[in-house]
């Protein structure tokens, strides 16, 4: 795999989301890593040092908001995009730490555009 490929870390507890995102994001030319929980994401983040994180919120164990705050504490400049089925987490001011908040949909246009935009910055 080429060194120039940008690394994405996808954090979600649903297998089907990983399958979909992996296929779609690899087609876009990214190197995709998967974490099934917040705990795994925090560990993997230190190992792979991703260029961008796509993060679910509603997960068992450490939830996405807590993962977000810990990731931003470790690396404030790494973009984190929240990808949640629930728009109501926008009410959580801690979600402001994220660089974007995209409500999950099988149409990934908005998410892909957001990733592109934040990787260009």
User: Is residue 69 within the footprint of other proteins (CB under 8 A)?
Assistant: yes
User: Least distance (Å) from other proteins to the CB of residue 88?
Assistant: 10
User: Least distance (Å) from other proteins to the CB of residue 14?
Assistant: 23
Among 10, 41, 65, 102, binds other proteins (CB under 8 A): 65
Distance, CA of 12 to CA of 34 (rounded, Å): 8
Burial 88-111 (b: 16+ CB within 10 A, else e): ebeeeeebebbbbbbebeeebeeb
Q: Which C-beta is closer to other proteins: that of 19 or that of 94?
A: 94
The footprint of other proteins (CB under 8 A) covers 65-66, 68-73, 76, 90-97, 101
């Amino acid at each position: 795999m080429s060194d120039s490929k940008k690394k994405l870390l996808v954090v979600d507890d649903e297998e089907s989301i990983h399958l979909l995102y992996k296929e779609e994001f690899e087609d876009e030319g990214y190197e995709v890593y998967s974490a099934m929980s917040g705990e795994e994401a925090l560990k993997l983040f230190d190992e792979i040092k991703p260029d961008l994180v796509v993060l679910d919120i509603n997960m068992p164990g450490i939830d996405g908001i807590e993962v977000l705050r810990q990731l931003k504490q470790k690396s404030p400049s790494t973009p984190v995009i929240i990808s949640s089925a629930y728009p109501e987490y926008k009410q959580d001011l801690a979600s402001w730490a994220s660089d974007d908040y995209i409500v999950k949909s099988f149409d990934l246009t908005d998410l892909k555009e957001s990733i592109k935009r934040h990787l260009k910055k």
